[in-house]
Amino acid sequence: MGMKIKPLTDRFAVSPQLRVSDVAQAAAKGYKTIINNRPDGEMWGQPKAADIEAEAQKHGLHYLHIPISLRGLAEGQVEAQAAAQADNEGPILAFCNTGTRSAMVWALSQAGKMSADEIISAAAQAGYNVNNLRPHLG
């Protein structure tokens, strides 16, 4: 079973949990940066961030770990995600367990850069409902 990559823009996509073996495929698809939004140890059997990072480096990819808890965002995480997008070559692939947290933090990071309608529409086309974030998007 391959990765389920869901593009939000031509420069940014999200996906459910990546396995170490998915990193080479992401590189082959042209991704230049991987952002891991999943905390280590969230679920038994999930790959460790360090293992994915090592594989990303083997394939010449930038790797960032911005873990977002299931309890919600912590201060600075939206800013870190926005900075990661500004400072790293795209296209960028971000992942968490299902892709939802990655889509939500992407949406919040685009406030002021895209209209709320554009952000909500891009997420919806990828299968993520971020309409509840509308008050924070514009």
pLDDT score recorded for residue 4: 93
Please give the tally of structural domains in the chain.
Answer: 1
Residue 2 has pLDDT above 80, yes or no: no
Instruction: Identify whether 1 is part of a domain.
Output: no
Determine the structural domain holding residue 92 and report its residue range.
Answer: 6-136
Q: What is the CATH number of the domain that holds 77?
A: 3.90.190.10
pTM of the model: 0.95
For 20-50, write each residue's pLDDT tens digit: 999 999 999 999 999 999 999 999 999 999 9
Instruction: Identify whether 57 is part of a domain.
Output: yes
For 57-91, write each residue's pLDDT tens digit: 999 999 999 999 988 888 899 999 999 999 988 89
For helices 77-87 and 100-109, the axis angle rounded to 10 degrees is 80
The mean pLDDT value of the chain amounts to 94
Structure tokens at 54: 């090592």
Residue 19 has pLDDT above 70, yes or no: yes
Closest Cα to residue 83, out of 119, 122, 33, 137?
33
| Residue for token pair 């509840």 | 132
Ordered alpha helix ranges (H), 74-136? 77-87, 100-109, 116-125
